[in-house]
Amino acid sequence: MSAIQLDTHVEARASRSEARIVPAQPMLPSALARAADYPELRYMGSKHRLLSWIYSILKDIPFETASDPFLGSGCVAYLLKAMGKQVSGSDFLNFPTVLAAATLRNNQERLSNLDVEQILGPAPNAAQFIEKTFDGVFYTPSDRRFLDRVSANIAQIKNPDQRALAMAALIRSCLKKQPRGVFTVSGDLSHYDDGRRDLALSFEEHFVEQVQEFNRVVFDNGKTHSIQRASVFDTNPRNVDLVYLDPPYVPRADDNCYVKRYHFLEGLSCYWAGYKIMAETKVKKIEKIHSPFGSRKTAINAFDRMFSLYAGSVIVLSYSSNGYPDLSVLEDLLSRYKREIKIHKRDHRYHFGTHAAVGRSQVEEYLIVGR
Ligand SMILES: C[S@@+](CC[C@H](N)C(=O)[O-])C[C@H]1O[C@@H](n2cnc3c(N)ncnc32)[C@H](O)[C@@H]1O
The predicted structure's pLDDT at residue 145: 98
Three-state DSSP class for residue 315: strand
The predicted structure's pLDDT at residue 22: 57
The predicted structure's pLDDT at residue 360: 54
The predicted structure's pLDDT at residue 335: 98
Whole-number Å distance, alpha carbon 247 to ligand 1 midpoint, is 5
Q: Which ranges of the chain have pLDDT less than 70?
A: 1-28, 351-360
List, as one string, the DSSP characters of 213-231.
HHHHT----SS--EEEE--
Give the mutation target among 92, 260, 298, 350 for probing the ligand 1 site: most ligand atoms within 8 A of CB.
Answer: 92
The predicted structure's pLDDT at residue 355: 41
Whole-number Å distance, alpha carbon 197 to ligand 1 midpoint, is 29
**Of 228, 370, 236, 249, nearest in space to 307 by CA:** 370
Rounded to two decimals, the pTM is 0.91
The predicted structure's pLDDT at residue 15: 41
The predicted structure's pLDDT at residue 9: 34
Nearest CA to ligand 1 atom 16: 291
The predicted structure's pLDDT at residue 254: 80
User: What's the distance, Cα to Cα, between the start and end of the chain in Å?
Assistant: 33
Question: Which atom from ligand 1 is nearest to the alpha carbon of 231?
Answer: 20
The predicted structure's pLDDT at residue 253: 74
Domains, the chain: 1-29 (no CATH), 37-370 (3.40.50.150)
**Whole-number Å distance between alpha carbons of 147 and 355:** 28
Contact (Cβ atoms closer than 8 angstroms) between residue 260 and residue 288? yes
What's the Rg (C-alpha) of the chain? 22
Residues with Cβ within 8 Å of 197's Cβ and at least 6 positions away in sequence, in order, are none
Whole-number Å distance, alpha carbon 17 to ligand 1 midpoint, is 57
Whole-number Å distance, alpha carbon 233 to ligand 1 midpoint, is 12
Q: Does residue 246's CB lie within 6 angstroms of at least one atom of ligand 1?
A: yes
Q: Does residue 91's CB lie within 6 angstroms of at least one atom of ligand 1?
A: yes
Number of helices (H), then strands (E), belonging to the chain: the values are: 14, 11
The predicted structure's pLDDT at residue 251: 79
